[in-house]
Amino acid sequence: MARPNLKSLLRLSQFAVNLNLNKTTQLTNLSKSLITQNRNFSTSKIIRQDTSNNNAPATKINFYVEEYKDKGYMVLKFNKAPVNSLNLEFLTELNIQLDKIEQSKDIKGVILTSHLPNIFSAGLDILEMYQIKQERGTQFWTALQETWIKLYGSNKIFIAAINGHSPAGGCLLAMSCDYRIMTKGPYKIGLNETLLGIKAPFWFRDTMINTIGYRETEKALQLGKLYSPEEALAVNLVDEIVDANVLIQKAEEQMVKWCSIPTVARELTKSSMRRDTVSKLIAQRESDTQSFIEFTQRDSIQKSLKGYLEAMKKPKK
Ligand SMILES: CCCCC/C=C/C(=O)SCCNC(=O)CCNC(=O)[C@H](O)C(C)(C)COP(=O)(O)OP(=O)(O)OC[C@H]1O[C@@H](n2cnc3c(N)ncnc32)[C@H](O)[C@@H]1OP(=O)(O)O
């Protein structure tokens, strides 16, 4: 196959970002991503697209996927500008990606990262909670539960390459991975829910306890602590901190190491460590969703969320 030059690849990826996707097949299309078969471009990019309706409104591509089937892993990059906030559509698409990964015989592991600079994920989209409606809220929370169950409960290897801020739900995604590498810099990671006037759900808490231990979690959750990369390393919230230019390389080195462990033994071990935590949510999914709706509908919570949103909109100094 002919080697495409860099210019044509850039044009190709811009084209992919601007793809028009058919509204009626939007959900299916959510899983359609830019597939790069080799990051060194020694083979051409494959772009999957649905061309059944060229008059459809533009839909952004929320994920980029680079597959290295020969090496047994892939890189999944969040691409929901401006901050990779987790809304219903994004989570639905992520769940489709996670299903595909789970079903793939060729893929042993995934490096999760962000295509956007300085941000891994800003966590849950606050607009999904502000002025919440029962039906959409239920779908949203169910999708989030689904994401966590699929990610935290997966037997595949997940390595988070955290290239920027990762508060709240962003931290949950990172903690659900098996290994975390964070870029050095002015970034923050942690479960800051109390600062928004809300309580972190029990499964966020349990994931953090499993990651950094009970005492540190108790302090972190009450204070809504957002850790710098150095602080996060000191409490084992991340496993490594590195310069931005070597983040993916370091993640790949770890991936190779994790992939070299006998698969069945590693999977059984992982499952034995995480099964109880995941089962706890599975047993309480409906009541957890109900609590989320009731809690977020409270006037006091709505007031807090409104204030938080307004503070975020204030012009930056
Ligand atoms: C029972 C209920 C339990 C629920 C558990 C909740 C879990 C959560 O995840 S709650 C969400 C917590 N997230 C945060 O507190 C993060 C808030 N965002 C930030 O702190 C910053 O945006 C940043 C550090 C992540 C990035 O900073 P910066 O690069 O300076 O970007 P801006 O602040 O200018 O933001 C750009 C743009 O994005 C909007 N935005 C940011 N975060 C969110 C969000 N989580 N949801 C929705 N929208 C968000 C922000 O308002 C800006 O919008 P525009 O002004 O319209 O550009």
Domain harbouring 93, CATH code:
3.90.226.10
Q: What is the pLDDT of residue 221?
A: 98
Residue 195 inside a domain? The answer is yes
Which residues have a Cβ under 8 Å from the Cβ of 171 and sit 6 or more positions away?
Answer: 123, 189, 190, 191, 208, 237
| 295 CA: nearest ligand 1 atom | 1
**Pairing of β 73-78 and β 63-68:** antiparallel
Which residues have a Cβ under 8 Å from the Cβ of 77 and sit 6 or more positions away?
Answer: 63, 64, 65, 66, 113, 114, 115
Residue with CA closest to ligand 1 atom 40: 83
* Number of domains within the chain: 1
Whether 137 is in the pocket of ligand 1, judged by its Cβ within 6 Å, is no
Whether 62 is in the pocket of ligand 1, judged by its Cβ within 6 Å, is no
Q: What is the pLDDT of residue 316?
A: 59
Residue 15 Cα to ligand 1 middle (Å)? 28
Residue 195 DSSP one-character state: G
* Token code pair at residue 283: 């047993």
The answer to whether 237 is a known catalytic residue is no
Residue 46 inside a domain? The answer is no
* Token code pair at residue 177: 């991975």
Q: 51 or 90: whose pLDDT is higher?
A: 90
Give, for 205, the enclosing helix (H) or strand (E): helix 202-212
Residue 32 inside a domain? The answer is no
Residue 69 inside a domain? The answer is yes
Residue 55 inside a domain? The answer is no
Q: What is the pLDDT of residue 57?
A: 54
Residue 197 Cα to ligand 1 middle (Å)? 14
Q: 5 or 180: whose pLDDT is higher?
A: 180
The answer to whether 294 is a known catalytic residue is no
Q: What is the pLDDT of residue 11?
A: 29
Residue 295 inside a domain? The answer is yes
Residue among 80, 126, 205 to mutate when testing ligand 1 (max atoms within 8 A of CB): 126
* Token code pair at residue 282: 């599975």
Is a pLDDT exceeding 70 seen at residue 139? Answer: yes
Mean pLDDT of 170-181: 99
- The confidence band for 118, taking pLDDT boundaries of 50, 70 and 90, is very high
Residue 241 DSSP one-character state: E
Which residues have a Cβ under 8 Å from the Cβ of 15 and sit 6 or more positions away?
Answer: 47
Q: What is the pLDDT of residue 313?
A: 84
Percent of the chain predicted with pLDDT > 70:
80
Q: What is the pLDDT of residue 23?
A: 27
- Backbone φ and ψ of 72, nearest 5°: 90, 15
Task: Give dist(CA 317, CA 297) in Å, integer.
Answer: 33
Residue with CA closest to ligand 1 atom 42: 122
Residue 283 inside a domain? The answer is yes
Q: Which residue has the tokens 């496993």?
A: 239
Domain with 91 in it? 63-307
Integer-rounded Cα radius of gyration of the chain = 20
Q: Which residue has the tokens 């899983």?
A: 31
Whether 89 is in the pocket of ligand 1, judged by its Cβ within 6 Å, is no
Q: What is the pLDDT of residue 233?
A: 98
| 122 CA: nearest ligand 1 atom | 25
Q: Which residue has the tokens 């991936």?
A: 255
Mean pLDDT of 258-286: 98
pLDDT in tens, 214-241: 999 999 999 999 999 999 999 999 999 9
- Mean residue pLDDT across the chain: 85
Residue 186 DSSP one-character state: S
Is a pLDDT exceeding 80 seen at residue 21? Answer: no
Residue 167 Cα to ligand 1 middle (Å)? 9
Residue 220 inside a domain? The answer is yes
Task: Give dist(CA 27, CA 30) in Å, integer.
Answer: 5
| Type of residue numbered 19 | L
* CB burial of residue 259 (10 Å; 0-12, 13-18, 19+): middle
Is a pLDDT exceeding 70 seen at residue 64? Answer: yes
Active-site pick, 66, 193, 216, 252:
193
Sheet containing strand 189-190, edge to edge, reads: 118-119, 164-167, 189-190
Mean pLDDT of 306-311: 93
- The confidence band for 253, taking pLDDT boundaries of 50, 70 and 90, is very high
CA terminus-to-terminus distance, the chain:
51
Task: Give dist(CA 17, CA 135) in Å, integer.
Answer: 30
Q: How many CB atoms lie within 10 A of CB 291?
A: 15
